[in-house]
Amino acid sequence: MAAIACNRRSCAAEGEGPRPLIDDDSVRSQDTLIFNARAGYRFDNGVRLQLDVLNLFNAKTNQIEWTTS
């Protein structure tokens, strides 16, 4: 699993390489890479306003994959 993280007006990337879908490793999933972003502001009274953008570039990936044999 790959991960990239930034700080101070945050950004993040999460990825996974191909992984086996069955025990003998003859069928593998595709790799994935998803970018997320976060921006926020903290007020003097301690209140924080934050915006998260998930899947920033609208990547077409599967959250779960399986195969039938």
| Lookup result for tokens 């609208």 | 58
36/17 Cα distance (integer angstroms): 18
For position 69, what pLDDT does the model report? 61
Better-predicted residue by pLDDT, 47 or 62: 47
pLDDT digits (tens, 9 = 90+) for 2-56: 555 566 666 677 777 788 888 888 888 888 888 888 888 899 999 999 898 888 8
Structural domain boundaries in the chain: 2-53
pLDDT band, very low/low/confident/very high, at 1 (cuts 50, 70, 90): very low
| Lookup result for tokens 């009274």 | 45
Read off the pTM. Answer: 0.61
Judged on CB neighbours under 10 Å (0-12, 13-18, 19+), 66 is exposed
- For residue 33, report the phi and psi dihedrals to the nearest 5 degrees: -150, 120
